[in-house]
């Protein structure tokens, strides 16, 4: 009995002494991670290319096989029937799509998220538009789609997106007969990629189509860059240009609209003190437009709002509709460019912007452009990537393109946000469970 007691005492003293030794636990290791980009799939007879900026960019289609990402052999990938994921280490990819003799459209690929706002589209008899949701993950995603129209708040729809799948939903299934629509997509479980496409047709007459870029969160200041002006091309004829606005809160908003262009800033008559009713989608026609190729709209509001502009007109022998939404400023990003000429709208409070352009042979050119509220850079067809010098003053960007298929303009949003996370640290010291 005494021997057992001595053994237990010696063991207890040994364990106590061990616990008093200084810990040599290693500091936590940080790893950097970034989500993948998700590019939409084709829907119907449209065709297009996903521009990556350079060769060797890892990507894969979204399918049930959960395929591994493989490096691309070319700078561009043909738009396919499956959505596509692209490594987040790349420049932000750009999709340029078209339908023969009908429309031209462009949109950036973006990361999956849990919330989106869209200001645009229509669900009346002329609508050919649709929502496309992609779930790149291995578990199903459940999302709510809140709806607003010219008649106010509509009933919410709940949708389930299967794992590793893409689903399309006609806009007419959400709010049949409504002309002015705004959507708020929020996730109950899982993350999704969301794309809204607006196309119109009456009888045999096509009125164009365009992607509606995700809007910024409701804000008291909205900047919409890349609006088409009367001097965009020799055969431009704008028939109407309107701002679509929603005040999602409970109080009406008083707004003031300002035009920004390369030749100056001015407030249009009649848009300096407009009352916008809450919870109701309205459209406000723009008066005389700036005599420019492109211009920017800035809205200052007494309440948080969502806004986008829709332009209808003819460009050559093509009828088009174009959507421009609220832009997000970038602070130094790398963006992929299409292999064609275009006009890049640049809006910033800085007096100049600096950026580097990578050409088709990998040659880099450093460019500096003075800015007086807004500037326009004529992008050459040889440009493949553009990278802006990091700055504390945000830069609002939009890209306008024109070819035989039509005209399109799209805002260029910030690239992926990199996140730092700590690896778990293993404590190698002996663990003695407490007695019970």
Q: Does 394 reside within a domain? A: yes
Tell me what percent of the residues of the chain surpass a pLDDT of 70: 87
Q: Does 27 reside within a domain? A: no
pLDDT at 418: 54
* Residue 9, φ and ψ in degrees, nearest 5: -65, -45
Q: Does 301 reside within a domain? A: yes
Q: What is the dihedral of CA 308, 170, 137, 30, to 10 degrees?
A: 0
In this structure, what token pair is assigned to residue 240? 């109407």
pLDDT at 19: 56
Q: What is the pLDDT of residues 237-296, one digit of tens each?
A: 899 999 999 999 999 999 999 999 999 998 888 898 999 999 999 999 998 888 899 999
Alpha-carbon gap, residue 246 to 24, rounded angstroms: 58
Q: Does 76 reside within a domain? A: yes
pLDDT at 13: 61
**Does 160 have pLDDT greater than 60?**
yes
Q: Does 8 reside within a domain? A: no
Tell me what percent of the residues of the chain surpass a pLDDT of 90: 72
Q: Does 23 reside within a domain? A: no
Q: Does 153 reside within a domain? A: yes
Q: Which residues contact 121 (CB under 8 A, 6 or more apart)?
A: 127, 129, 171, 181, 183, 196, 198, 212
pLDDT at 421: 45
- Is the CB of residue 94 less than 8 Å from the CB of residue 160? no
What is the chain's mean pLDDT, rounded?
A: 89
Structural domain including 208 reads 32-414
In this structure, what token pair is assigned to residue 246? 């929603």
Q: What is the pLDDT of residues 416-429, one digit of tens each?
A: 655 544 444 444 44
Q: Which class for 146: exposed (0-12), middle (13-18), buried (19 or more C-beta within 10 A)?
A: middle
Q: Does 229 reside within a domain? A: yes
Q: Which residues contact 350 (CB under 8 A, 6 or more apart)?
A: 371, 391, 393, 395
Give the total number of structural domains in the chain: 1
pLDDT at 187: 96
393 or 195, which is more confident: 195
**What is the pTM assigned to this prediction?**
0.87
């Amino acid at each position: 009995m005494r021997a057992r007691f001595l053994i237990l005492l010696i063991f207890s003293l040994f364990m106590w002494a061990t616990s008093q030794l200084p810990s040599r636990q290693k500091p936590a290791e940080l790893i950097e991670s970034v989500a993948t980009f998700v590019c939409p799939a084709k829907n119907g007879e449209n065709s297009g290319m996903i521009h990556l900026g350079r060769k060797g960019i890892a990507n894969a289609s979204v399918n049930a096989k959960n395929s591994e990402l493989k490096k691309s052999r070319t700078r561009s990938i043909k738009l396919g029937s499956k959505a596509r994921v692209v490594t987040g280490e790349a420049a932000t990819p750009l999709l340029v799509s078209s339908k023969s003799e009908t429309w031209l459209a462009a949109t950036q690929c973006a990361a999956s998220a849990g919330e989106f706002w869209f200001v645009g589209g229509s669900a009346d008899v002329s609508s050919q538009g649709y929502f496309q949701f992609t779930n790149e993950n291995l578990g199903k995603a459940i999302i709510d789609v809140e709806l607003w129209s010219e008649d106010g708040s509509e009933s919410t729809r709940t949708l389930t997106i299967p794992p590793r799948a893409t689903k399309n939903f006609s806009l007419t299934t959400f709010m049949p007969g409504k002309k002015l629509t705004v959507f708020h997509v929020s996730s109950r479980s899982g993350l999704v990629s969301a794309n809204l496409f607006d196309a119109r047709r009456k009888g045999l007459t096509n009125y164009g189509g365009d992607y509606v870029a995700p809007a910024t969160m409701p804000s008291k200041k909205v900047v919409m860059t890349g609006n088409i002006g009367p001097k965009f091309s020799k055969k431009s004829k704008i028939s109407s240009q309107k701002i679509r606005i929603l005040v999602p809160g409970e109080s009406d908003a008083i707004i003031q609209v300002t035009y920004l262009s390369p030749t100056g800033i001015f407030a249009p008559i009649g848009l300096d003190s407009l009352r916008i009713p809450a919870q109701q989608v309205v459209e406000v026609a723009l008066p005389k437009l700036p005599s420019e190729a492109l211009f920017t709209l800035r809205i200052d509001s007494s309440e948080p709002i969502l806004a986008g502009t829709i332009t209808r007109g003819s460009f050559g022998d093509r009828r088009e509709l174009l959507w421009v939404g609220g832009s997000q400023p970038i602070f130094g990003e790398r963006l992929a460019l299409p292999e064609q000429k275009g006009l890049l709208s640049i809006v910033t409070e800085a007096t100049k912007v600096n950026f580097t352009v990578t050409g088709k042979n990998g040659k880099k050119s450093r460019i500096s452009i003075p800015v007086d509220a807004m500037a326009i850079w004529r992008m050459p067809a040889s440009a493949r990537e553009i990278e802006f010098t990091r700055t504390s003053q945000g830069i609002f960007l939009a890209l306008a393109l024109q070819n035989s298929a039509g005209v399109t303009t799209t805002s260029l949003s910030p690239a992926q946000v990199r996140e730092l996370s700590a690896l778990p640290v293993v404590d190698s010291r002996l663990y003695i469970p407490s007695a019970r």
